[in-house]
Chain A
């Protein structure tokens, strides 16, 4: 899932400053699960903004709504509010949601309330950690299911560097050395030979090296075209 963190309140207030009528729009996807952009957080932000507006004497009307996912056209009809009727929408979605909604409503500014941080999993109550970088060339088959691209601070592909310290990374004493984890896991699995193989430098074309990445299922495109012609 995509993990995101709430932006500082003052930053949100600042980007909102010239607007009079604003919709806070929650997203029911990943950001609801990681407790940053769901209905509850949207209502909280709306209350905080109303309070701040009253204190600062700002002429600001705040309403809120939510949608199943802001990254999917099919849920738009479930909106109770019409984004086009507001001066701006404060989106509680990840960057994908903000960007996609901005395309769907070109007349309305969609402003981000979150910083989209990583692809992660819930590791303990209230805690999420990064497991994937979306590099476009998955290596987990030979690294014991532990991603060196996402979980080694240098994204190394041939093993530990000299910065491994008591199993931790030189960057942060709270951070595990991913390559030590990979080494231990491969050893347990009896597959240390995977560590011994030299891995060639990564091909960054799959990892933003060629700009915006897209996925197109040609057969679906063709089917859609046939249906529209029929």
Chain B
């Protein structure tokens, strides 16, 4: 057994129920507000904080710098990497750079298509997919990159990085077997933890967890904080693999505007509490409402 490379890995290996948070860097250089929110509401409450990578293909400040700013403030980051915007040269180079900066947790994702974002004219890259990215990270850890020299031998690195490597899965999609097979491939390629797409239905999640019983890596259930009934309806219509049950939509609709954050935290906290026995952690995606995290943890009956 090799030593954990991060506090996040250590906590999961110790069998703790691990909660992670998430921040999205801004469009522009004014990164202070989001970092301040993370320091105020996430630090000490969650084990690690994901920094999104040009989320939903909307151009913004990068994930690596967000991770570095968190590190400087004593918050452990999870470096999200999508394969949409960089080819294998840039991905591997950024992995080495990230390691040099002290970043140890990486989440490998395919990434929303450029058509979903605010630069639909951009060239979608996808030189490698999420499985290929995990293979590349595993390769770097073994001291070689994806290329080869003139004789066909793998290129050797001068200084080798180590990471705690994660992946994503969508548990609540209508046909789940192809998702599970892909998850198996991600684990084979080196994934060591899973953070799932948003789950609002514990029963479906329970079935999913039984179906992946053979996959021996920790799973953090994804919780996306609802901001309104309208947002829930929008997700049901437009966000793949996300289904918010009517009862939850109704609770949000019934909440007076000034109580929405409170009700939203209640819903998220109850979901975590209910699914806690089924998995190894929860990943809270608060979409800028970082101040609800302490409330969610309280409703989930989790001590920071």
Q: Quick check: is A54 within 8 A (CB to CB) of the other chain?
A: no
Chain B residues with Cβ under 8 A from A166's Cβ?
A: 174
Chain B residues with Cβ under 8 A from A108's Cβ?
A: none
Q: Is the CB of B132 within 8 A of A158?
A: yes
Q: A196–B184 Cα gap in the complex (Å)?
A: 8
Known: A195-B178, A200-B132, A201-B88. A162 touches B197 (CB 8 A): yes
Q: Quick check: is B241 within 8 A (CB to CB) of the other chain?
A: yes
B109-130 contacts to A (CB < 8 Å): 110, 112-113, 115-116, 124, 126-130
Least Cβ–Cβ distance between A174 and chain B, in angstroms: 13
A182-223 contacts to B (CB < 8 Å): 183, 192, 195-196, 198-202, 204
B154-211 contacts to A (CB < 8 Å): 168-170, 173-175, 177-179, 181-182, 184-185, 188-189, 197
A-B pairs with lowest CB-CB distance, top 6: A165-B240, A159-B182, A158-B131, A201-B132, A183-B178, A201-B128
Q: A162–B175 Cα gap in the complex (Å)?
A: 12
Q: A156–B179 Cα gap in the complex (Å)?
A: 14
Q: A171–B238 Cα gap in the complex (Å)?
A: 11
Q: Is the CB of B126 within 8 A of A163?
A: no
Q: Is the CB of A170 within 8 A of B116?
A: yes
B residues sitting closer than 8 Å to A (CB atoms) are 84, 88, 110, 112-113, 115-116, 124, 126-132, 135-136, 146, 168-170, 173-175, 177-179, 181-182, 184-185, 188-189, 197, 239-241
Choice from A163, A165, A172, A179 contacting B112 with Cβ under 8 Å: A163
Given contacts A153-B124, A162-B173, 14 further A-B contacts (CB under 8 A): A154-B126, A155-B126, A159-B178, A160-B179, A160-B182, A162-B170, A163-B112, A164-B175, A170-B115, A170-B116, A171-B113, A171-B116, A195-B178, A198-B188
Q: Is the CB of B241 within 8 A of A183?
A: no
Q: Is the CB of B129 within 8 A of A153?
A: no
9 contacts between A and B (CB under 8 A): A153-B115, A156-B126, A158-B129, A160-B182, A161-B130, A170-B115, A199-B131, A201-B88, A201-B129
Choice from B135, B169, B240 contacting A164 with Cβ under 8 Å: B240
Per-residue interface assignment for chain A, residues 45 to 61, with 1 indicating a CB less than 8 Å from any chain B CB and 0 otherwise = 00000000000000000
Q: A171–B130 Cα gap in the complex (Å)?
A: 18
Known: A160-B178, A198-B185. A153 touches B173 (CB 8 A): no
Q: Is the CB of B127 within 8 A of A201?
A: yes
Q: Is the CB of B115 within 8 A of A158?
A: no
Known: A170-B113, A183-B178, A201-B135. A159 touches B88 (CB 8 A): no
Q: Quick check: is A157 within 8 A (CB to CB) of the other chain?
A: yes
Per-residue interface assignment for chain A, residues 132 to 166, with 1 indicating a CB less than 8 Å from any chain B CB and 0 otherwise = 00000000000000000000011111111111111
Determine chain B's interface SS by DSSP, over half rule: mixed
Chain A residues with Cβ under 8 A from B130's Cβ?
A: 158, 161
Chain B residues with Cβ under 8 A from A98's Cβ?
A: none
Least Cβ–Cβ distance between A11 and chain B, in angstroms: 18
Choice from A163, A192, A196, A199 contacting B240 with Cβ under 8 Å: A163
Choice from A159, A160, A163, A204 contacting B113 with Cβ under 8 Å: A163
Q: A94–B168 Cα gap in the complex (Å)?
A: 42
Least Cβ–Cβ distance between A205 and chain B, in angstroms: 12
Q: Is the CB of B188 within 8 A of A162?
A: no
Q: A179–B126 Cα gap in the complex (Å)?
A: 15
Q: A200–B147 Cα gap in the complex (Å)?
A: 13
Chain B residues with Cβ under 8 A from A160's Cβ?
A: 178-179, 182
Least Cβ–Cβ distance between A152 and chain B, in angstroms: 9
Chain A residues with Cβ under 8 A from B178's Cβ?
A: 159-160, 164, 179-180, 183, 195
Q: Is the CB of A153 within 8 A of B170?
A: no
Chain B residues with Cβ under 8 A from A199's Cβ?
A: 131
Least Cβ–Cβ distance between B65 and chain A, in angstroms: 25
Q: A89–B109 Cα gap in the complex (Å)?
A: 49
